[in-house]
Amino acid sequence: MIRLDDVEIFVRAAQAVSFSEAARQLNISPGLASAAVQRLEKTLNARLFIRSTRSLQLAEDGERYLPHALALLEAQRQGQAALADAQCELAGPLRLSLPSDLGRNLLLPWLDAFQHLHPRITVHLRLSDRAADLLRQPLDAVVRYGPLADSSLLALPLIEHNRRALCAAPAYLARHGRPQRPEDLRQHNCLRFVWSEQLHERWRFTLPDGERTVAVTGNRISDDADVVRRWALAGEGLIYKSRLDLIPDLLAGRLLEVFPSPWCEPLPLHLMCAHRSRLTPVITQLRGFLQGRCEELVAGYNALRPGRGPENRLP
C-alpha cells in the first residue's frame, strides 16, 4: 500500500533535486527522506531516482510517476478541504417564532433564500402574535418588535431605527379625509390588533411640542396583524404598525403615510435567544442574513418612493 507521506517526500525531493532539501522542508532527517523514497520504489517496483555521491536526478520511471504523485497529493488536499467544509456547513433544526404579518410577507421568502444557501438546515416555523416563551418552548430564537424590557434574553438587533407608520388606503382617505393631528384620530375608524392578550388601542406619537397618546376606537379588531393590514388595504380604516411590514404597500401606493415619520413610535426589530449558549453558528449567520435583507429593503424604500423629504425618511 502506498503511503501518502512517502509520495509527498518523493515530490519534494523531485522538485528540490535533493533529499536534504526535501527533509529540511518537512522537518525530518535526510535519512528518513531517503528511506521513504526507497520504500515507495519498493512498493511501486520501480526506480524513481538516479543517485550518485554528487547528484540526484529523476529516473525515467520517476518522470513518468511524478504527475500522478502530484495528482494524489492534490486529491488528498481536496478531500481534506471537503471534510472541513462539511464540518463547517450549517445543519440541523432551526426553530423560529415570527410575527404573523412580518413572517408571512417578508421573512418567509427571506428564510427560503437562507435555507437554499444552507440546505442541511431544517426550518420549523411558528407564526404568532403572541409572546413566545423562549425558556419553556422548544425554540431556538424569536423575531420580535419593540423596545427591550429588562430581561436575561439575548437580543440581536436586525433594524434598530424602525418606527411605526400611520397609514391608510387612498380610498379611505378620499372618503373620510386625512387626519392632521393625533387628536383627529378619535373621529376615524382605527384598525386595532391584539398582541399577547393586550389590545393595542393607545397610539403614541412624538410631536415637536411634546408627546401625545390617543385612545383610538374602531369597528375591527384581530389577534393577527396580517389581517389588520389586509383591512387597511381594503380601505376599512387607519393602521398604525411597523413601517418595515408596510414598505411594499407604501412603494406600490396601496397605502399612504398620514403623519411624518418622526412623529411615530420607535419600533426596533430583534432576533432573540434564550441565552448566549443558544447563539449557534446557524443563529449567528441567520442574524447577519436577515439584517442585510432589512437594510436592503429600507434603502430601497428611501431611494425609490416619491416625495423623499428627510422628514419622511426611515432613519
Question: Which CATH number is 91-315 given?
Answer: 3.40.190.290
Question: Could you give the angle at the alpha carbon of 89 between the alpha carbons of 86 and 95, nearest 5°?
Answer: 140
Residue 313 is predicted with a pLDDT of 43
Cell reading at 191: 384598525
Mean pLDDT in residue range 244-256? 94
Q: pLDDT band at 86, cuts 50/70/90?
A: low
Q: Do the beta carbons of residue 224 and residue 100 sit within 8 Å?
A: yes
What sign does the dihedral 161-135-278-93 (CA atoms) show?
negative
Residue 306 is predicted with a pLDDT of 52
Same fold, 4-88 and 91-315: no
Question: Whose CA is closest to 153, among 130, 131, 135?
Answer: 135
Global pTM?
Answer: 0.68
The answer to whether residue 219 scores a pLDDT higher than 70 is yes
d(CA 145, CA 314): 16
The answer to whether residue 9 scores a pLDDT higher than 90 is yes
Q: What is the DSSP string of 152-166?
A: SSEEEEEESS-BEEE
Mean pLDDT in residue range 177-186? 96
Mean pLDDT in residue range 100-117? 94
Question: Which CATH number is 4-88 given?
Answer: 1.10.10.10
Q: pLDDT band at 307, cuts 50/70/90?
A: low
Give the start-to-end residue ranges of the domains of the chain: 4-88, 91-315
Residue 275 is predicted with a pLDDT of 81
Average pLDDT value for the chain: 89
Residue 312 is predicted with a pLDDT of 42
Q: Which of 129-138, 175-184, 287-296 has the lowest mean pLDDT?
A: 129-138
